[in-house]
Structure 1
Amino acid sequence: MKAVVLAAGEGTRLRPLTDEKPKGMVEVDGKPILTRCFEQLAELGADEFVVVVGYRKQDIISHYGDAFEGIPVTYAHQREQKGLAHALLTVEEHIDGDFMLMLGDNVFDANLGDVVKRQREDRADAAFLTEEVPYEEAGRYGVCATNDYGEITDVVEKPENPPSNLVMTGFYTFTPAIFHACHLVQPSNRGEYEISEAIDLLIQSGRTIDAIRMDGWRVDVGYPEDRKKAERLLNADEDADADDADPDDDATDDDTTADADSTEASAN
């Protein structure tokens, strides 16, 4: 399955971190966000990366070249940043089957594999990783309404009165049907071609879209403080892994000591 990564944005809210590099090349805990994206997508079985570039595109192209860890990398140029649906259309010629889509400014430690698995089951035309957030924050995102089967029945972009607190994250799977929907999207009040509108068109046409609840965490690195938050979470995960390993080591030592004591007692 191919993996599309959207990395064309200028990242104005991340300044000064993006004064001399694109948003995807901003490092989180010593590693560019895009590298983290590629690593996770490779683990999910990506056989080609199709990367949408724009702002300081040559920085990305020069850094990754035509392959990442043996997986081919293809680039598509979004000359103007007019929304995610607009960005997605730049890769249409490179996609001929189901594909993964990841926003190149997100850091995940979550169940992305569940989304890919659902897509491969052929029961859904698309599947999204979704997250429950406080209601007062939901209006910042694309908000989903679902039915009793966990299927998405409506998506509203940044609504004043959210229909739920379930929001889209930056990871999706689609069939090529999404491209036809993107062609039909009209500019929003923000002047952008919203992917939520394309998704809504899929729903209206009878397509099945499944919501996969996130198990884990993700950070949309939009501001400098978001980078710090992602680093804290990554380091907390590493510390937790170390803590999980330590008791086993202690147990092994205790067991060895216990065995030695038992042997000594038997000898006595």
Structure 2
Amino acid sequence: MQAVVLAAGKGTRLRPLTETKPKGLVEVNGKPILTHCFEQLTDLGAEELLVVIGYRGDDVVEHYGDSFGDVPITYARQEEQLGLAHALNTVEPHVTDDFMLMLGDNIFRANVEDVVRRQRESRVDAAFLVEEVPESEASRYGVCNTNDYGKIVEVVEKPDDPPSNLVMTGFYTFSPAIFHATRLVQPSSRGEYELSDAIDLLIRSGRTIDAVELDGWRIDVGYPEDRAEAERRLQQRAEQTTSRV
């Protein structure tokens, strides 16, 4: 599969770290966040990285060039940061088949390979990792509403009154059908074209959608304290690996 990485945001909540560099180049445990993303995606077999850049995007291009190891990188620019669905639309001309999508401010040590396997084996139109978070945090994410059988029937972006505490994480797989939905999305109350709204359109149109429960951990590096927690967990993991050798 190709792999899309969305890395156009300004990272205002990470200031002052993002005043002189894009969010994706902020280091976590000695590596830029984007390097953590690229390593995981190439381990999953990504044949091409499609990277959406915006704020200080030239810094990203200068840092990585046209490849990451042996995997080519194609860049697309989101001139205005108008939401994740809007960002995804910028890579549509480059996508040839089913693809992975990772938000470029997330660090995963989780079962992302299960999502890829579900896409390849079941040929669904979308699959994504979900996790339960404290109810007080659910409004930060795209929240999944489920029926009595546990099936996801609706996805709502950052609701004031979340219908559940089951949320989407930052890793997805899609068929090209997602682009039909992203083109239909209307601006939300935040003035953005939301990816969760596009996924909700897929659900309502009867497309095949699978959710995979997260096994492991992931951190959305949105605030300095998130960066510190990600570093703590990565260092802890490295120590555990060393102790087993």
Aligned amino acid, residue 180 of structure 1: H
| Matched residue SS, 2:153 | strand
| Matched residue SS, 1:239 | helix
1:122, distance to aligned residue in structure 2 (A): 2.5
Aligned amino acid, residue 35 of structure 1: T
Does the alignment pair 1:117 with 2:112? Answer: no
1:180, distance to aligned residue in structure 2 (A): 0.8
Q: In the alignment, what sits opposite 1:81?
A: 81
Trace 1:211-222 onto structure 2 (pairs within 5 A): 211-222=211-222
Give the TM-score, by structure 1 length: 0.89
Trace 1:248-263 onto structure 2 (pairs within 5 A): none
8 Å Cα contact 1:115-1:173 kept in structure 2: yes
Could you report, residue by residue, the CA deviation over 1:41-81 in whole angstroms, capped at 9, with x for unpaired residues? 00101000000000111110011111111101000000000
Alignment partners' CA distance in 2, 1:18 and 1:180: 33
Q: In the alignment, what sits opposite 1:248?
A: none
Alignment partners' CA distance in 1, 2:76 and 2:119: 24
8 Å Cα contact 1:129-1:169 kept in structure 2: yes
Q: In the alignment, what sits opposite 2:50?
A: 50
1:240, distance to aligned residue in structure 2 (A): 1.9
Q: In the alignment, what sits opposite 1:208?
A: 208
1:242, distance to aligned residue in structure 2 (A): 2.6
Q: In the alignment, what sits opposite 1:237?
A: 237
Alignment partners' CA distance in 2, 1:146 and 1:154: 7
Alignment partners' CA distance in 2, 1:230 and 1:211: 24
Alignment partners' CA distance in 2, 1:208 and 1:162: 24
Alignment partners' CA distance in 1, 2:79 and 2:235: 36
Alignment partners' CA distance in 1, 2:151 and 2:29: 36
Identity %: 70
Alignment partners' CA distance in 2, 1:229 and 1:41: 22
8 Å Cα contact 1:150-1:210 kept in structure 2: no
Alignment partners' CA distance in 2, 1:184 and 1:13: 30
Alpha carbons of structure 1 residues 230 and 200: separation in structure 2 relative to 1, 3 Å: same
8 Å Cα contact 2:124-2:175 kept in structure 1: no
Alignment partners' CA distance in 2, 1:150 and 1:212: 12
1:123, distance to aligned residue in structure 2 (A): 4.5
Could you report, residue by residue, the CA deviation over 1:111-146 in whole angstroms, capped at 9, with x for unpaired residues? 110000000012521100111111221122111123
| Matched residue SS, 2:140 | coil
1:151, distance to aligned residue in structure 2 (A): 4.4
Could you report, residue by residue, the CA deviation over 1:26-46 in whole angstroms, capped at 9, with x for unpaired residues? 000000010110000001010
Q: In the alignment, what sits opposite 2:169?
A: 169
Alignment partners' CA distance in 1, 2:202 and 2:225: 35
Q: In the alignment, what sits opposite 1:193?
A: 193
Q: In the alignment, what sits opposite 2:92?
A: 92
Return structure 1 stretches of 4+ with deviation > 4 angstroms.
Answer: 147-151
Aligned amino acid, residue 162 of structure 1: P
Q: In the alignment, what sits opposite 2:104?
A: 104
Aligned amino acid, residue 213 of structure 2: R
Alignment partners' CA distance in 2, 1:77 and 1:43: 25
Equivalent residue pairs, number = 245
Q: In the alignment, what sits opposite 1:25?
A: 25
Does the alignment pair 1:137 with 2:132? Answer: no
Task: Pick which of 120-129 and 165-174 moved more.
Answer: 120-129
Query: Which ranges of structure 1 fall in alignment gaps of 5 or more residues?
Result: 246-268
8 Å Cα contact 1:151-1:209 kept in structure 2: no
